[in-house]
Each structure stands twice: as C-alpha cells, then as structure tokens.
Structure 1
Amino acid sequence: MTIDAKLVATLGAIFFAYCSYSIWTSGRMHRGEFSSSLGRLADQLREANKTSSDGTGESSAGSSPYEPSVADVLVIKAMLNKALSIPPEIVDTIVDIAEYWPHTTTFSDSTVVAGTNYPAENVFLLRSPPLGLHNWERVSHTETSSMDKKPPRPQPANEEFSTDDFQELIASPIPMLAQPCRRIVFTIRSHDQGWGGEFGNHGTYNGSWTWCDVGLERWCKPPTPTQTDATGQQTQQQHDRPTLQLDDLCTVLPEVEWDPEAKAHVFVHPLHPRDDLKIQCNVMAEREPILHRVVWSYTDDIDPERDAEAAAQQLASKGRGTATGNGRFVRDLKLGDVVTIWAKARFQGWSNHVESVKMDVYYAV
C-alpha cells in the first residue's frame, strides 16, 4: 500500500483522536473516557495496519499486516501533532498502543551447524543493523548485506557514546529516543542431530543441548594509539563520535575477557545456556527442521522470580529461556545497538542445524 492509501485508511482514526482530545481538554470528558478513546483510536490504526498491500484498502485472507516505513510514521505523527494540535506525548501514546513502528529485517538461509563434531560449539549467525539509525548505510558507506554475517571480533566494551552523538550522524528530522526498541521477532528454522538424550524427553524441549542465544554489540570509545602531549605526558586519544564501522564495534554479549596464553581477547561462552539470553532450543531428537517464531516485546511482564509457574508454562515449556519474558532486554537496548544471534550446542554428539534465521527489530520514532 502506498503512503497516500495508508493515510486515507487512517484519516477517520485521526479525526476521532482530534475530537476526543478537544472534548477532553474542554473538561467534558473524564480521564478514563479519554483513555478509552485512545484505545479505540489505537485499535483503528492497528486495523488499518492489517489492510493488504495491493492499494485497495481491503483486507484479504492471508495478507500480511502493513509494515510502515519511517516516513509513514513521521507523516502520521505530524498530522496528529501539527495539523490537529494533539500534544506529542499523546501522539506517542497512540502510536505505541497501535504498534505503528518501522522495523529492520535481516535474514539468512545458509545452513549453519554448531556442535562438538563440527568446527565450533558456538557459531555466529546474524546481526541486525544499528537500532534506530535508519540512514546509517549512507552515513557509514556500509551495505547491510556486508554487515549481517561478518564474524564479530572479541573487543571489550569501553566508554559509551551519548544519544546526542548518534543524533548528529543520522540527521533525523526529529530527535530519536535514547532507548527506542519496542519489539524483536526471531524466526528460526532448525533441528538437532535427531537422536540422543533421555528417551522420555524425545519430542519435547526438555534436556535439549542445542539452542540459539541472543548477543549484543555496541559502538564505544576505543582509545587511539598513545600520543605524547606538549608536556611530554602520554595520553590516550579517543573518537569523539561513533564511526559506524564494523571493526569498531565492541561486544557486550557474549562477555569478553583477556586470554594470557593467546595474548588476545576472547569470547566467554558459558557451558550451560543463560535463561536471560536463550532465544529458543530445539525439540530433542528431531531430524526434521521446525520453524519457531519468538517475540520479545518491551511490554513483556513474565518474571520468573515473581511467577515461576508462568515462566515455566509460557516460556520453558516452549523451549525459551525462563528469564526472557520480562521485556528487559528490549527495553534496555540503546540507540545504535546491534543485536546478534548465536547457534549453540554442547556435549559429544549434539549438533544444532540452523537452516534459516530471520530477525525483525521494531523501534519507535
């Protein structure tokens, strides 16, 4: 659907927002009634999102939800804010409730295997473009295709850049949020070696030693070579803003440490999966690939410390990490962050066969 067709589909919802806000500010509508009105507006915008992309404005069976671009979102927000004088904070609420966000997509359909009988038990699969930097390719002169699968370097994190440092680089028409991520959708097609483990666990996620983890990279301030100042003192000069070059990415997850024997930094991959990083494990002893779609949202609220039963039923029983349902990872992502995915396998004979992997990252503007 074109931007013009999309605007037509949402004009009624926008007019409804304007009328509701005008009545509320005049004192003729209670706060609760106004909140209900916002909810109805968001529902209308969400339904408009579901219209087909053929430009007819009519929903069709099997059609995918409309995925707005950055321009789409900015135009809708400008109409609500400027043309109808709705305050920015109310506009942001409407857009968030409607889940009307732009997103980036990275995808790989090259089969990758992690395991003890293969080159490595921990294999890098994919990385996302920098969060919220919708014109980063032009600024960095880097194509997404060359970024997706380039193996990460174990470079420890250092002092972080500020949100303002990224604002200057992306030249956005509006300031970006410091923590703009709203949702991550992982779509993984994979299977294990097809045998092994306790027989009673076959066909379940229990006892599986093949899985995928989430990782995180961030542009920090790596020092340049030591220089001597006018007084003869040795100083460390640092970049004053992010370079957006892949070689300058630092690794936050997995952790990085110095290996005195190798005389280099190395990744630290725990033996057991971390409950806060495990995206999805494989069904045990299943030779055929299974497609898993895992959604992490900033509004998720399943805390294993508060409700262990819910974490077990809604997460662990589906092969997810029990601490991945609290929304913390998504909420904590910062402007410019890069999300990565790793394939994992442990112990003799176990192997994780990942046939395809896709990552959709949604963010607010």
Structure 2
Amino acid sequence: MPLIINRRGGARLPNRRIPVVPPFPRPDPQEQSKAPEAEKEEAEASVSGASESEEFGPNPKDVYDVRLILEEAGNFPPEVADMIIDYAEYWACTTTIADYRSLQGGHLTIRGGRPGEDRFLLRTEPIALAHWKPASQELWRRESKPRVVDPAAEESDFEYPQATLEALAEEPLPDLERPVRKVVFDITSRDQGWSSEPRSDIAYRNSHTWFDAGLERFDRTITCPEDCPDRQDPDYASCNIPTCALRPLWPPSVAGVAGPEAPTAAPAPAQYDHVLHPTPDHCIQLNKLADRTSCHHRVEWRADDDIVPDTPDAEEKLAAIGRGPSTGDGEFVRNLKLGDVITVWGRARYPGWANHVERVEVRVFWAV
C-alpha cells in the first residue's frame, strides 16, 4: 500500500521555516526538466536544503488576511491588492502525494503488454471543497467506475448546484466560476533502463512509458448503492455528495462489449477507453528513454499558458522535454471548476516496457 498524503493549505511543509516567494519571471518550460546534477546543486544552495515543493501552502483564510493587510495597512484599493496577490502567486492550494518508495523494490512497477498497463495512481481533493471528505479512504484510492452518458446531454445536466458545492467550500469562496491558476506535478520515475528503439538527440523520443492527467466531476444523477461506505457514515445526510458520485470525464468511458457467453439482455458494463499512445493534451510527462536512473520532473500547467498546439514552438518547448505537445495552451487549467478532481495515471506500452514510479505529487492553486 503506497503512502497517500492529502495536505490542505495553511500547513507548513517539512523543513521549510519561512514562506517561499515564487520566482519571477516564470521559468521556461525547458527549465522544468533539469539534469539530476543541476537539481542537486540547487538543493544544496537553497535554504535548509529543502526542495521547492516544500514551500508554505496558503489556505483561503491566509489569502484573505494578506489581502486585508494590503488594503488596510498598505492603503491599497481592493483591485490593486488583488493584482499584487496574483503577481506574487499567493494563491490557496492543496497538495496530494502518492509515495511508492516504501514498497518492495522502492517503487511501483507498471508493465506494458499486460492488463495492468494503465494504472490509476492518485486523485486530488475536490478543488476548494475543504469541508468535504470521503467516508472511506480505500474507496477514495480506487479508480472511479467508468460511466457512459448521453452524448446529446449538456454537462450542466449532471452537475451539482453551485450552492451545494459552495456549502462545502472554505470561506472566503472563490469569486470566479473557474478559479484555478496553476497545477504543479512532481514525478520521480524511470523506465526499464534498456530499449531496442533507436536513440536520438531527444531523450524522450520513442519512449513508451508516461503519465497522464485525468479529470473527474461529481454527478448528481448517480445513485449511491446501499452498501456504499458513505451511506454507513452517520454524517451522510449532511455530506450531500457521496464518493460514488464521482464520474470520470477523462479518460473517456465507452460502452462495454459483451462476450459470446453473456446473456443478451444484460448490457456489458462501461469501460475506460485507454488509447495506445500518449494523448497530446493530457500527457504530463514521458520517461527518458532507456535510462536506469530515476529522474525527477516538475511540470507546471498554468491558466495563462499560451503555447499553441501543433506549432514549432510546441514541439521545441514541450515535446522535446517529454511533455504533451498540446498541454501548453492553458485549456486544462482554465476549464477546472469548483469541486473538480484531477487524477494521475501511469502508463506503459508493449511487452518489455516498464514504468517504475517512485513518487507523484500534485499541487493545485486557485484564486479566492
């Protein structure tokens, strides 16, 4: 069983004594995939030797208090105070970690060419819903049940009312319908360490092990079964939203195909549509090809990213460093709503290929 950590804003992370001011200007995407030697040098030069992921994570009240200080002590108008907070990237955040280093061998292995070649690794807490919690951690750590919906239906037909979601959020509430500003992925992993694929000057070319970002949303039309752990929870009535109500939007779900021995009256259950190759707008990071050394990749998706897919810029700044070539336009982050859940999937394709996963961390930052 991996170590799963959910940390909400307001808690100082280990080894960090003071809040970290985010660097400015923003780093080039190519700076997010550095050699281990460069990362080691930076760690030795930093305060207390902590990595950048061990910074102070504000909660909504922390952000509100800073805004109040700027308005009252600094005599700034509210609009200017908001600009300062955005410029400093002082946003509320949550952190979710899946640590597999305690497993035998020090990692989780996903092997290609087998039924488990698509592996659900973690899901974040519902965005900004600090007062929502799953009744069963075991259920929360499992992949959601694939569900097929009517393609002609509007997504709003399935969504919980905004008032229901806001009742589970920590005040002050986000002012925007889509409040997320950035998502940061920290992944430590490697492939099997050898390959018959031809080498190239790009370390990630021809790699068949990678990580994808998925998306889930609470669906009010889903009926919670009688044996659901949420129904056994005495606080179920006040919880309003059961864990079973999570519906995956990506990976997509498709209707199952019944076997010849199955009764014709019983429809086959839905299943995930896991594609063969990385999806350009969901691929977080490829592993380096045939590298026996575990590599740490930090990937940052921002709402204000502006790299146009299918352009030389996307190829040079994203694909060349192992990122999905369509993940630099900010669409994934800009479309996140209150209560949305981000998932991470590990992949391996073809016999002989293996994705050795040591640690996955996801931090979600949103404006309030």
Which of 326-335 and 79-88 deviates more?
79-88
**Does residue 184 of structure 2 align to residue 185 of structure 1?**
yes
One-letter amino acid matched to 1:69: N
1:133, CA displacement in angstroms?
1.4
Listed one character per residue, the Cα deviations across residues 45-66 of structure 1 (whole Å, up to 9, x for unaligned) are 768xxxxxxxxxxx94646544
One-letter amino acid matched to 1:154: P
Alpha-carbon distance between aligned partners in 2 of 1:150 and 1:255, rounded to the nearest angstrom: 17
Gapped runs of 5+ residues in structure 1? 4-8, 11-43, 48-58, 226-239
Partner in structure 2 of residue 288 of structure 1 = 293
Alpha-carbon distance between aligned partners in 2 of 1:45 and 1:351, rounded to the nearest angstrom: 38
Partner in structure 1 of residue 97 of structure 2 = 107
1:95, CA displacement in angstroms?
1.3
Gapped runs of 5+ residues in structure 2? 1-9, 13-17, 24-45, 101-106, 150-156, 225-236, 259-266
Which of 242-251 and 295-304 deviates more?
242-251
1:123, CA displacement in angstroms?
0.4
Residue identity over aligned pairs, in percent, reads 37
Alpha-carbon distance between aligned partners in 2 of 1:242 and 1:178, rounded to the nearest angstrom: 22
One-letter amino acid matched to 2:59: S
Alpha-carbon distance between aligned partners in 2 of 1:61 and 1:197, rounded to the nearest angstrom: 43
Equivalent residue for 2:126, pick from 127, 130, 137: 130
Answer whether contact 1:160 1:219 (CA < 8 A) is retained.
yes
Alpha-carbon distance between aligned partners in 2 of 1:241 and 1:86, rounded to the nearest angstrom: 40
Higher helix proportion (structure 1 or 2)? 1
SS at match of 1:200: coil
Alpha-carbon distance between aligned partners in 1 of 2:67 and 2:355, rounded to the nearest angstrom: 44
Partner in structure 2 of residue 271 of structure 1 = 276
Q: 1:174 to 1:247 in 2, by over 3 A?
A: closer
Within 5 Å, which residues of 2 pair with 1:310-329? Answer: 310-329=313-332
Partner in structure 2 of residue 245 of structure 1 = 242
Partner in structure 2 of residue 258 of structure 1 = 255
Alpha-carbon distance between aligned partners in 2 of 1:185 and 1:220, rounded to the nearest angstrom: 26
SS at match of 1:259: coil
Q: 1:266 to 1:326 in 2, by over 3 A?
A: same
**Does residue 345 of structure 2 align to residue 342 of structure 1?**
yes
Answer whether contact 2:180 2:337 (CA < 8 A) is retained.
yes
Partner in structure 1 of residue 355 of structure 2 = 352
One-letter amino acid matched to 1:246: T
Alpha-carbon distance between aligned partners in 2 of 1:313 and 1:176, rounded to the nearest angstrom: 36
Equivalent residue for 1:149, pick from 134, 141, 155: 141
Aligned residues: 296
Alpha-carbon distance between aligned partners in 2 of 1:341 and 1:347, rounded to the nearest angstrom: 20
Partner in structure 1 of residue 85 of structure 2 = 95
Report the TM-score when normalising by structure 1.
0.72
Q: 1:118 to 1:269 in 2, by over 3 A?
A: closer
Q: 1:84 to 1:174 in 2, by over 3 A?
A: farther
